[in-house]
Structure 1
């Protein structure tokens, strides 16, 4: 048999199998068998995925889902399977979006800007709503709707949800299964606001394949319009759907801008050749500043990263603080997280933008698991990528300087992220506030620690830092490590900065109790009970108070 005939026969078998799956509705028992198969496969071959969720919690969710299947419609079961796999909270580990969206999607593209969720683009028959802010989906406020569909998305962090989760808001099957709309319908009504006026608009679902979108943005076509003004194109969107990477000098400057939106090779030029051409240009041109933009880079093959890192390290005139800027964002994921880890570790880059969509260390590459009755596929990760120490399990890479785009900035082709890189001023810059505060503390400059700590905690450039957790952890480590006075100082600062925090107040009172500052401990324990009467620690605090009050 010839290869062509073999391929044709194979294709025919696959098409017939797919047709069989599509034509024969499964019984509840068959769906339950599929769930059981998934459950057994996970426990037998992928038990290491029980890292963020315990096996007990996952099993409990599986059992509850199993018992509910007889009462569910087919689309609800598919969404339920996606929920099960998404519980692992690794973006690669998923039931494909196309599975839950197989019955259609709304003809809009939603984007979560700094000032809310907006209609970034839509089909031309719905052009009137492009640029409108989304207030409600059905009768549910949009932020509440996001929380409802969150369980269906393999969310690693908030950036992942913004980058890859908004599309789930456009799937009627998901909206119904997650309780956003009361009954399944391919027509969904949105409440919107545009030019100061609120109104409703009903959208009718279209086939998934009719979407015109890439990198989270609408691709204008005969059927689709984008809300972004088309009279200009910002650097990060230039050649976006034609080239995976490109560079150019920013006119009127000595700054070289590079956009790399994949860690895969482009059909027209391999990454290795691109890096070679890039560094040859740098070496033969008066380039004084390099801006390297990976905000839209969803990954690829991280073994392609090495030539870039080596090339940067070999050029200290560019790889120096204030001369090299690295832009990250909500789409920065997978192999590009590996690249970002290496950039952070081996270069002097100032990182600008939004946090990445990937954990620092993560489960990546997947194997396909095909469910026996439905033929649906789940993709389960098997490869653990660890660029940092095993206890460095940060949810994401946060930028030195945080910048997020508003809807108006996007629609009018502004790029506030690039602007920060271009206009950076070294004078008075604090790129790592925790390191800086540690230096002040070590030098005994406690007054500055307090004033600077309060200042940076309010500064929007550092809004992705969890200062309460960082400060609290530092205070606890100092205190438990023997530096009682230093630890107490930090814990007092945290309680002052975050007066509504139960953890901060309890930690401070506990430290004061151990330091035999009885009156202060009694005052703060009493304050804890008044401010947080329903907290589970109240009974413990009351016992502590009773002992202290007898002294």
Structure 2
């Protein structure tokens, strides 16, 4: 199997009002993009036609005299999304002049989209499900946000929309808030269905804002999969249940950075070789009835990194059985984590559990990039196509679907762990 280098979903932030790039410079950049992207991409026109792409560029050029830089950038994002390749994207964060922000974080549960973070003086909106913003139903807003990213599957839509919804600039671009308004009228619901309304103000995006944030609280210690989920990888043995839980959050390590990245910064990353050695020792010395390999937060990296460990797990005759080995995927499982999931399916008897993945089994990837000369927008594009299965599924659908509910999260329960423990 070929190896795939790091790829992480691009999340961009946008600023309204700025218009600093000259029209002629935009024209140069857009024509450069029109010429170079088709030459560099593995197969740019597998979904959109060449005429549609070129006409899209020309349409943006015709609006340059009346559009701001941010409006041009947004239209460009929408055009790139039409290409249909979730690994081809733009980085426009440098265009942002960070001023005020919409002070909310969102989290998806099976019951809907909830507010998971905000400023301390708005604490009462925490735990609430968002129904509408300024009279616009949340589904209507999400339909607009879908145009900014490739909407290959439900998981990818969820992953991208919850991030984009946090941008006041994007809400203004689509007309869900007026340009000069700094107050948002929210319609909210608690878990019991009680409706409430709240006026939320924009805040300055500065160090005080970051210090002043508060997040959804849970009634018990965070479940293992959430506690330290920002780590690249971690493990824990639960002796009472005889369950070994391995969480693989990023296909990135000291070894991959030394091979593909900036060698001088490699020391800052954890060593997967050391982690693997610890895992194999635990597998050898501990009494383990069931093994959970969790990739529900894994957005990509280098697929080769975990393959040796997967091979060792596959060779473990005690654990490589139905009902003994479980691989967890979710809405954030993408890119190289898809490779590893397919590798598990091919090499082991693992049961795949969790939620549908945002990554497709067969997809364009092996990302390279170039930069537009004047706007300095970084363009990431796919240089290879990966065919991992004979089917053309838009997602990996788990053998057993287990969604994360609001009440489970609040009570510190991991439904995946509970399922494995009981079955």
TM-score normalized by the length of structure 1:
0.66
- In 2, Cα distance between the equivalents of 1:398 and 1:100? 38
1:411 paired with 2:400, answer: no
Aligned partner of residue 380 in structure 1, secondary structure: strand
- In 1, Cα distance between the equivalents of 2:42 and 2:224? 44
Deviation by residue 1:280-310 (Cα, 9 ceiling, x = unmatched): 2111111111111110111111121221221
Q: Structure 1 172/297 Cα, relative in aligned 2: closer, same or farther at 3 Å? A: same
**Which one has the bigger strand percentage?**
2
Q: Which residue does 1:117 correspond to in 2? A: 113
- In 1, Cα distance between the equivalents of 2:188 and 2:53? 37
- In 1, Cα distance between the equivalents of 2:77 and 2:351? 38
Q: 8 Å contact 1:101–1:173 — kept in the other structure?
A: no
Select between 283-292 and 68-77 the one with higher mean Cα deviation.
68-77
- In 1, Cα distance between the equivalents of 2:57 and 2:219? 48
Q: Which residue does 2:259 correspond to in 1? A: none
Deviation by residue 1:205-228 (Cα, 9 ceiling, x = unmatched): 44388886xxxxxxxxx4221113
Aligned partner of residue 236 in structure 1, secondary structure: coil
Aligned partner of residue 317 in structure 2, secondary structure: coil
What does 1:177-326 align with in structure 2 at a 5 Å threshold? 177-183=173-179, 185-194=181-190, 196-207=194-205, 222-229=211-218, 231-241=220-230, 243-265=231-253, 267=268, 269-326=270-327
Aligned partner of residue 185 in structure 2, secondary structure: strand
- In 2, Cα distance between the equivalents of 1:238 and 1:55? 47
Q: CA deviation at 1:335?
A: 1.0
- In 2, Cα distance between the equivalents of 1:148 and 1:100? 22
1:34 to 29, 35, 41: 29
Q: Structure 1 325/208 Cα, relative in aligned 2: closer, same or farther at 3 Å? A: farther
Between the two structures, name the one with larger relative contact order (CA 8 Å, sep ≥ 6): 2
Q: Structure 1 353/184 Cα, relative in aligned 2: closer, same or farther at 3 Å? A: farther
- In 1, Cα distance between the equivalents of 2:126 and 2:410? 10
Q: Structure 1 105/347 Cα, relative in aligned 2: closer, same or farther at 3 Å? A: farther
**Larger CA Rg, structure 1 vs 2:** 1
Q: Structure 1 116/38 Cα, relative in aligned 2: closer, same or farther at 3 Å? A: same
Q: 8 Å contact 1:117–1:133 — kept in the other structure?
A: yes
Deviation by residue 1:353-392 (Cα, 9 ceiling, x = unmatched): 1111111022223233222222222222223233234xx3
1:62 paired with 2:57, answer: yes
Deviation by residue 1:335-354 (Cα, 9 ceiling, x = unmatched): 11110110111111111111
1:78 paired with 2:76, answer: no
- In 2, Cα distance between the equivalents of 1:145 and 1:42? 30
- In 2, Cα distance between the equivalents of 1:181 and 1:36? 32
Aligned partner of residue 353 in structure 2, secondary structure: strand
- In 1, Cα distance between the equivalents of 2:39 and 2:364? 17
Deviation by residue 1:18-75 (Cα, 9 ceiling, x = unmatched): xxxx997123343233222211212232261222333233333333333233332222
Q: 8 Å contact 1:34–1:372 — kept in the other structure?
A: yes
Q: How many residues align?
A: 391
Aligned partner of residue 382 in structure 1, secondary structure: strand
Q: Structure 1: which 5+ runs fail to align?
A: 1-21, 213-221, 425-551
Q: Once superposed, what is the RMSD of the aligned Cα atoms?
A: 2.5
Q: Which residue does 2:381 correspond to in 1? A: 380
Q: Structure 1 335/249 Cα, relative in aligned 2: closer, same or farther at 3 Å? A: same
2:44 to 19, 42, 49: 49
- In 2, Cα distance between the equivalents of 1:312 and 1:97? 42
Aligned partner of residue 101 in structure 2, secondary structure: coil
Select between 185-194 and 115-124 the one with higher mean Cα deviation.
185-194
Q: CA deviation at 1:97?
A: 6.5
Q: Structure 2: which 5+ runs fail to align?
A: 1-16, 255-267
Q: Which residue does 1:399 correspond to in 2? A: 398
Deviation by residue 1:389-418 (Cα, 9 ceiling, x = unmatched): 4xx322111100111112222232222222
Q: CA deviation at 1:151?
A: 1.0
TM-score normalized by the length of structure 2:
0.85
Q: Structure 1 187/75 Cα, relative in aligned 2: closer, same or farther at 3 Å? A: farther
